A and B are shown apart, each in its own frame.
Chain A
Amino acid sequence: MHVDLGAYLSYLTRRQEVVASNIANADTPGYKTHDVGMPGDFSTAFAQFTALPEETPGLVSRNDGNNVSIDRESRLLAENDIRFNLATQLLRGEIRTYKMAIEEGRDS
């Protein structure tokens, strides 16, 4: 099965954007934590991940109505980074294969 790694990268990019936004708004009164859910299937090719971020349920709000947990966000930041690393490594492998085919199997 061919998994569209580009779509996965798109998703991770989107998620990182949302996490950055949560961190930036960690002190904004009334701001609610947002997140984008992972699609169940990445094998269908779509160039850009388009799901909208939704409010994350189950987080405790502070007095100012803000519910950003900086620990949760830094975990997600690191997690996304590692996933992105993995996906780019896999993609590099794929690209290397194509390169080899183009260069008629000669090791470059």
Chain B
Amino acid sequence: MSLFSAISVSASGMEAQRVRAELIAGNLANADTTRTPDGGPYRRRDAVFTTAPVEGSFADNLAAAGVRVASISVDASDPERRYLPGHPDADKDGYVAFPKIHPPEEMVDLMGASRGYEANVAAIATVKDMIGRALDLFK
């Protein structure tokens, strides 16, 4: 019965979307962070998804697969400069480097992650029902 691997596939989708939501939460929380251990302002992070075979399934075929976070991309573009001469992190011209994070964009992304998570949950619920009915055959 490979309905169980369908659950694994959806679970991998849930995990990936959760990681994405976590990164978005981190971006929103650090929208005004001007100081990081690496130096400079915080940089926007985003999850890069890739297909991945799920453990213990699809032995004969890798075309249908789960998903995983392949890497976390860090925004390398120039930070936003704001003129704040009194700021402790201001450079000699009085400009402070702020992360290039736009909250509306992050919120839309967060909605996408949340909907994706929901879709995977719905898939698991359906497959669970199917397994239940298959077990009912023995009654």
Contacts and interface: CB of A to CB of B under 8 A. Distances in A.
Interface of A: 9, 12-14, 16-21, 23-29, 31, 34, 50, 52-54, 70, 73-74, 77-78, 80-81, 84-85, 88, 91-92, 95
Question: What is the interface of chain A mostly: helix, strand, loop, or mixed?
Answer: helix
Contact of B6 (A9, A20, A70): A20
B130 A77 contact: no
Interface in B1-18: 1-3, 5-7, 9-10, 12-13, 16-17
Contacts of B97: none
Interface of B: 1-3, 5-7, 9-10, 12-13, 16-17, 20, 48-51, 57, 60-61, 63-67, 112, 115-116, 119-120, 122-123, 126-127, 129-130, 133-134, 136-137
A20 B133 contact: no
B66 A24 contact: yes
B61 A52 contact: yes
B130 A16 contact: yes
Contact of B137 (A20, A28, A88): A88
Contacts of B3: 13, 16-17
Chain B interface, >50% SS class? helix
Given A16-B3, A28-B51, A92-B136, A23 B119 contact: yes
B137 A74 contact: no
